[in-house]
Amino acid sequence: MVLANAAARRETMSLSAEQRIALFRTMYAARRIDDREIAGKRQNRVFFQINGAGHEAVQAAAALCLRPGQDWFFLYYRDRALAYGLGVSARDMFLGSVGSRLDPATGGRQMPSHWSDHRLNIFTTSSPTGSQCLQAVGAAEAGLRAGPCGLQERLGVRPDEVVLASLGDGTAAEGEFWESLNSAVNLRLPVVFLVQDNGYAISVPTEVQYPGGDVAALLGGWKEHGLLVLDNVDGLDPIASYDALALATAHARARRGPALVRARVSRPYSHSLSDDEQAYKTAAEREQEARTDPLATYPARLLELGDLTPASLDRLKAEIQEEVDLAWEEALAGPPAEPGSGARHLYSETVDPTSAAFDTEAGQPGNPDGHGKTMVDLINATLRQEMAADPAILLFGQDVADASRQAALAEVKGKGGVFKATHGLQRQFGSHRVFNAPLAEATILGRAIGLAARGFKPVVEIQFFDYIWPAMLQIRDELACIRWRSDGHFKAPVVVRVPIGGYLTGGAICHSQSGECTFTHIPGLRVVCPSRAVDAAGLLRTAIRCDDPVLFLEPKHLYRQAHNKGEEPGPDFMIPFGKARTVREGRDLSVITYGCTVHRALQAARQAEAEGLEVEILDLRSLNPYDWDAVARSVRRTHRVLVAHEDSLSWGYGAELAARIADELFFHLDAPVRRLAAKDTWVAYHPDLEQEILPQVGDFLQAYRALALI
């Protein structure tokens, strides 16, 4: 026994007795919080429960290795012991369990175990598995770019900070995990990936997720590029876990590259209270998990080491239980989520891009047809002006740089985007601010969110709207709701520039589609779509200077048209969101439109004038929010309305406008609300077929005549 104890002490010399006891305290508290929450769910005082049982040992070790409030943390829903070890109290956890308005993580807006604490640098957690990994990479990338930008002090970036991305074994099958690993290794970022492998993603075992059931074993080729891989760590042993995580953290903190730790843990409880593990786990598996449960094995080890006596262990457990019980009672007394608060923090409440502060349009010179600069020219000029004014603006995406190999810039003219919207910006502002991203749309958005969370202002480009869909989860489930779900504690004011639409003669299925209504349906996301150069400049500047995420749609057919050119409006020119433009006044009918169809509506209106029809045209410019007051004024004046857009007709953006006009302005209408849009099919390759599918001048003229006859 003496020899055994001596050997055990040699194995634990990395930690003091106080630290070993602290590990147990974190582990036991997390389990008791889980058990209390489970009881609360059965009492109908908690509305959802997911546990971290079996994961406590490695999580407690991670908390001991890292520095809350200095390092950054991107967690997932099983990380109760990790969150507790970093400083999230039992009371705060229970306030989330009962959905109280006092819940400091979400204000009762998210499920329990969606950790968030701006004081500790625990970034707001969401339910999708793997989305946090790309954001963690972006947060680490902030440290890489802050120095060359001279922004370390302004952004609070520390020279030795580390970012932890925590995930489960099932998440390691997600594409976004692999994308994040790719960028972290490529940029040699100080990210520690902690894969907690309990053998199951709900009911699906790891061997179904990837070959061999061991994700770390697949990473051999990454090691030579700076990735430290620590595999088969005993995640049920907090001391072994600490040793591995200390090594991984030191590797990242020394800026030798990212690290990945795969810790083998267990899951002695079901996935959640909505799951029954007995439906897919054998009795032998469950018995093995009970035998190896760290809450049973580790206390025995502390007794063996002499760190605790049976009596002191009992006192410690009783102390923790008292803390948990008191926290539960305090949470039950907390007020529920506040009625009427559902829209709070949906957008910034301090910076309002619809306000007069963003309206400098008055007094601007006109832009006669054929004069001035093209839309793409003014987009480039606006980006150039804003980047010169604010060093926190970063520009990246696919092909946006002039040349990734900087040495080539002395010999080549530079790419600067497939449409040249960003041409020359890398040369002027440097490769640390204007750079290419991998061909991975989710990577672009995920990294942008992490950078924005640290205080940068990313202006990213998705090369074609048709390819935005791999980034959809990052846009809808992450970007648009970060401020709301964190109860205002975090934000990600990213500008996403996207060339959109057809009328290209040859763009076909994957270079000509629209679909803006998918994004106007997302709460928390601003969506704009200019039709002329000067509007693009004013709206883009507003998008950059506002504090909300913005989807900036650029109709690529309009990039170099002569009819929508405009004079350079100056470095302070802004157009507020939600302000429409009256393109043409009329008395017989109103056309509500935006983007490429504005000019077609105008051409048709000029022809209709020869027939005695005076058509009023309203360019919305901003789709969410939109200028309802301008719409209502126009309809009250003309009493007939046509809603038109380039996207397909059915379930399109115009359907909402038409429904609202019919609902709220019914008694001002002399005819039914009509719509004009593309046919309900894909945009075709052959120019003749494309012309037939998309709304043309003749279609507008025919619609005017038909509406006037009613």
Radius of gyration of the chain (CA): 29
Q: What is the mean pLDDT of residues 137-161?
A: 97
pLDDT reported for residue 616:
98
Residue pLDDT, tens place only, 45-73: 999 999 999 999 999 999 999 999 999 99
Q: Which pair of structure tokens corresponds to residue 210? A: 């990837």
Looking at domain 581-709, which CATH architecture does it have? 3-Layer(aba) Sandwich (3.40)
Asked whether 23 and 238 are in contact (CB, 8 A), the reply is: yes
Return the sign of the alpha-carbon dihedral for residues 632, 634, 639, 642.
Answer: negative
> What pTM, to 2 d.p., does this model score?
0.96
Tokens 């360019």 sit on residue:
619
CA distance 559 to 486: 38
Q: Two tokens at 15?
A: 């930690």
Residues of the chain with CATH 3.40.50.970: 2-333, 356-558
Exposure letters 683-707 (e unless 16+ CB within 10 A, then b): bbeeeeebeebbbbbebbbebbeeb
Using one digit for the tens of pLDDT, what is the confidence trace for 102-130? 999 999 999 999 999 999 999 999 999 99
Specify the CATH superfamily of domain 2-333. Thiamin diphosphate (ThDP)-binding fold, Pyr/PP domains (3.40.50.970)
Q: Of 624, 580, 627, 584, nearest to 607 (Cα)? A: 584
Name the residue among 72, 84, 71 with its Cα closest to residue 113. Answer: 84
pLDDT tops 80 at residue 13: no
Model pLDDT for residues 611-670, shown as the tens digit of each residue: 999 999 999 999 999 999 999 999 999 999 999 999 999 999 999 999 999 999 999 999
Instruction: Say what the pLDDT of residue 9 is.
Output: 47
pLDDT tier, 12 (very low <50, low <70, confident <90, very high otherwise)? low
Look at residue 426 in the predicted model and tell me its pLDDT.
97
Cβ-proximal residues to 627 (8 Å cutoff; 6+ apart), any chain = 578, 579, 580, 618, 620, 621
Contact present, 583 and 605 (Cβ < 8 Å)? no
- The tens digit of pLDDT for each residue in 446-477 reads 999 999 999 999 999 999 999 999 999 999 99
Cis peptide, bond prior to residue 625, ω within 30 of zero = yes
The pLDDT of residue 10? 47
375/614 Cα distance (integer angstroms): 28
Residue among 104, 90, 100 nearest 45 (CA): 100
Is pLDDT at 6 greater than 80 in this prediction?
Answer: no
Left (φ > 0), alpha (ψ -120 to 50) or beta: where does 44 sit? left
Work out the pLDDT band at 441, boundaries 50, 70, 90: very high
Rounded (10°) angle between helices 90-97 and 17-42:
20
419: helix, coil or strand? coil
286-295, 455-464, 598-607: range with lowest mean pLDDT? 286-295
Quick one: pLDDT at residue 4? Answer: 40
> What pLDDT score was predicted for residue 1?
38
Mean pLDDT confidence for 354-380: 84
If you average pLDDT over residues 513-529, what whole number do you get? 97
Which residues lie below 8 Å from residue 276, measured CB to CB, with a gap of 6+?
A: 270
In the chain, ranges of CATH 3.40.50.920 domains? 581-709
Output DSSP code: residue 487: T
Asked if the 356-558 domain carries CATH number 1.10.10.10, the reply is: no
Catalytic residues: 511
What is the share, in percent, of the chain residues with pLDDT greater than 90? 92
Question: In this predicted model, what pLDDT tens digit does every residue of 190-220 receive, in sequence order?
Answer: 999 999 999 998 899 899 999 999 999 999 9
Does the pLDDT at position 264 exceed 50?
yes
What is the reported pLDDT for 353? 98
Residue 219: its pLDDT value, please?
Answer: 96
Average pLDDT, the chain: 95
Is-contact 621 528, C-beta < 8 A?
Answer: yes
In the block, which residue shows the tokens 């001596």? Answer: 6
Asked if 416 and 423 touch (Cβ cutoff 8 Å), the reply is: yes
Q: Which residues contact 385 (CB under 8 A, 6 or more apart)?
A: 541, 571
Cα-based distances in Å from 21 to 8, 247, 561: 15, 21, 71
Does the pLDDT of residue 35 top 50, yes or no? yes
Closest alpha carbon to 58 in 230, 280, 284: 230
